């Protein structure tokens, strides 16, 4: 029971912070600012191929982009080092863009794939969180993610989908429409599913940036620690 109350408290904190962000966005008629130069640089899939290495592309939003983290401390480089420590030779390309919605991700998907040196051995897809924070239609989110996964299937690229959960302040109706998106699409396309990208991080201030949502470098380490075995299995699957 104590564990359940603790988990509920972390999600309510997540909801309160998400509400602040959502209200801040709603009060402005301006488009969200572009990602910082550092994040943009990290999001450019331009690294030279490494011989005999598996090619993994991390295609997502700020949780992939290494938002407000020093170079080398975002998801892609930390995952690459974790795989290396397990004896898996892999190159993890950061194709995360802070602020991206599922629609923005869909719009840049072909450009990203066509700019790679070869077809990826695995694609990590993590989008939808910004849709939820902005209160966008879950149907639109699902349609966009469906189109992304359909294109990857067409190109015969295996997928590991990292899911998101609706914050409590969005209400039960929104959650009932949003939360099933990720498991349903993973099942439809045979993708590996990591159900909640912020699992083990949300609500733990020691693992988060001051905004209370994004992981700090320690938080990225927690995420990668849980994600790496699934990535390894997906590569060998």
CATH number at residue 187: 3.40.50.1110
DSSP state of 195: S
Domain count, the chain: 1
Confidence of residue 51 (pLDDT cuts 50, 70, 90): confident
Name beta bridge partners: 91. Answer: 55
Domain, as residue range, for 230: 2-236
pLDDT in tens, 163-219: 999 999 999 999 999 999 999 999 999 999 999 999 999 999 999 999 998 999 999
Name beta bridge partners: 56. Answer: 92, 122
Tokens 């992304």 found at: 148
| Long-range contacts at 175-184 (CB < 8 A, ≥ 24 apart) | 177/138, 177/139, 178/128, 178/132, 178/138, 178/141, 181/128, 181/138, 181/141, 181/142, 181/145, 182/128, 182/145, 184/142
Residue 14 has pLDDT above 90, yes or no: no
Sorted by sequence, the CB contacts under 8 Å of residue 49 that are 6+ apart come out as: 55, 91, 117, 118
Residue 21 has pLDDT above 70, yes or no: no
Residue 5 has pLDDT above 70, yes or no: no
Sorted by sequence, the CB contacts under 8 Å of residue 154 that are 6+ apart come out as: none
Cite the active site residues.
62, 211, 214
pLDDT in tens, 99-132: 999 999 999 999 999 999 999 999 999 999 999 9
Residue 41 has pLDDT above 60, yes or no: no
pLDDT of residue 47: 61
Q: Please, what is the end-to-end C-alpha distance for the chain in angstroms?
A: 37
Task: Please name which of 224, 214, 31, 19 lies closest in space to residue 135, comparing C-alpha atoms.
Answer: 19
Query: For the whole prediction, is pTM greater than 0.85?
Result: no
């Amino acid at each position: 029971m104590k564990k359940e109350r603790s988990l509920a408290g972390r999600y309510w904190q997540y909801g309160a912070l998400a509400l602040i962000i959502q209200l801040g966005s709603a009060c402005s008629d301006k488009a969200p600012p572009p990602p910082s130069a550092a994040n943009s640089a990290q999001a450019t899939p331009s690294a030279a191929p490494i011989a005999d290495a598996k090619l993994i592309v991390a295609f997502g939003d700020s949780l992939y982009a290494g938002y407000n983290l020093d170079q080398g401390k975002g998801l892609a480089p930390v995952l690459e080092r974790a795989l290396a420590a397990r004896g898996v030779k892999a190159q993890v390309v950061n194709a995360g863009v802070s602020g991206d919605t599922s629609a923005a991700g869909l719009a840049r998907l072909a450009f990203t794939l066509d700019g790679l040196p070869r077809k990826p051995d695995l694609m990590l897809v993590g989008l939808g969180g910004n849709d939820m924070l902005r209160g966008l239609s879950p149907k639109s989110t699902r349609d966009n993610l469906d189109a992304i996964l359909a294109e990857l299937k067409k190109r015969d690229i295996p997928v590991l989908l990292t899911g998101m959960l609706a914050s409590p302040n969005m209400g039960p109706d929104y959650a009932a429409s949003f939360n099933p998106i990720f498991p349903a699409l993973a099942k439809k396309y045979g993708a590996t599913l990591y159900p909640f990208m912020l699992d083990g991080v949300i609500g733990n201030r020691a693992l988060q940036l001051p905004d209370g949502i994004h992981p700090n470098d320690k938080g990225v380490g927690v995420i990668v620690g849980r994600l790496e075995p699934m990535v390894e299995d997906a590569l060998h699957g």
